[in-house]
Structure 1
């Protein structure tokens, strides 16, 4: 299980982000889905990981149990191959397991996995996550995660996030010096906006003038938005963080300019200035 890197050509130090996919995705899928958001000129090293657990969506599991003459159809080979690509960071109760204690075992596996990967990929500045990956990324911003992993991100982009199981509680608090961008859809029927807003509220407890909690709400569902407004916001946020952390930014001159403008806004003004991404 290896990390997938997507980096632009650039001399010198680049911003490096750990990218955590959603449930039933994998590193390759997440890289493809975030390509419009990342753009072609983003001067960032994106490190995509595969979750440690292989799972099968319930609908495919039900189909595989049905006796059918079509089971010999070559098309089913493709489906079987794809099952190996369905990954998760932990296996949720009621869907893939019934024993609550098994979540503790999954957590042990995940902690060992994360320590190994963090050691393998080297210096990482932040995390980008979607859905279950965003839930994990939010936990990685907590004081508890810093104590267990001996590492913490300096920035986080959480797309369609939510509060995970008690094993990944944010009760220990969010580390104060983390800048965060929270993106979610007003028409998300998988992870309703209210659940993402719960995560935002917890992050705001540690908000400072230096590291603000930015929120962007699009009008789509449980997706990674592809519109220009979301891409520009993503680029400007990363540009600002690169300026802060590395002292320079070559992501794009326009993104740097917009990042500077956002730095002079209050959190509410920054939110009001964002364009909404429509279908």
Structure 2
């Protein structure tokens, strides 16, 4: 007879602009234990050292990293392929992963991954991403961000990857986050009253996240 074991969903966590995996882990640690205890969260550092001042200096210690390089207006991108290759190597080494969770720059990158994976221009060596959790993300090719060549078709059609979008009413990326949300098929949304941050999850919002993840993850793996 086959034995069944309970397996937590393994989620790759991508931090924000000029922060780090360790900093993102500290932010996520404010979520209730009944959420984090049900997830296998893996926090990665981005491949490029920060090339300027971080907004979290004096709050969190360095080093700080960036997922991709761009001009000051985030319209032209450089070494984007290196970012994707680095990410694929990390996933091969530390995966397999069920989903991807990103905040800010990490969320913008995460949101484009399913489309690029479908087009065969990224993550061809790893399993298909089952779901995304997007916190304060933007959209490549939207009003604020340009479009890297490798992501040219990432949003050419509605993205058919289950997605949960956490959007702050006072977030400077609120409109971008909403535009990104509309690029997905049947998105799930959690709204909060704060700005550009990783909000605390309480009550119904915490339940909503767990229900979303459980729906798209097989909690029992057969061995």
Normalising TM by the smaller chain, what interval? 0.7 to 0.9
Kindly tell me the number of residue pairs found equivalent between the two proteins: 201
After TM superposition, the score normalised by the length of structure 1 is: 0.64
- Give the whole-Å Cα distance in 2 for the aligned partners of 1:173 and 1:224: 29
Contact 1:184 1:217 in 2 (8 A): yes
Residue by residue over 1:106-131, the C-alpha shift from the partner in whole angstroms, topping out at 9 and shown as x without a partner, is 21211220121111012111100000
Residue number among 90, 96, 107 corresponding to 1:123 in the alignment: 96
Return the structure number with greater helix share.
1
Residue number among 51, 63, 87 corresponding to 2:65 in the alignment: 87
Contact 1:42 1:235 in 2 (8 A): no
- Where structure 1 has 5 or more consecutive residues not aligned to the other structure, the ranges are 1-10, 61-77, 249-279
- Where structure 2 has 5 or more consecutive residues not aligned to the other structure, the ranges are 141-145
- Give the whole-Å Cα distance in 2 for the aligned partners of 1:224 and 1:233: 16
Work out whether 1:171 is the aligned partner of 2:155: yes
- Give the whole-Å Cα distance in 2 for the aligned partners of 1:21 and 1:37: 16
After TM superposition, the score normalised by the length of structure 2 is: 0.79
- Give the whole-Å Cα distance in 1 for the aligned partners of 2:21 and 2:135: 16
Residue by residue over 1:45-97, the C-alpha shift from the partner in whole angstroms, topping out at 9 and shown as x without a partner, is 1111000011144479xxxxxxxxxxxxxxxxx97x944x21110123117x9
Work out whether 1:15 is the aligned partner of 2:9: yes
Give the CA RMSD over aligned residues.
Answer: 2.7
- Give the whole-Å Cα distance in 1 for the aligned partners of 2:87 and 2:191: 30
**CA distance 1:182–1:111, change in 2 (3 Å):** same
Return the structure number with greater strand share.
2
Contact 1:36 1:231 in 2 (8 A): no
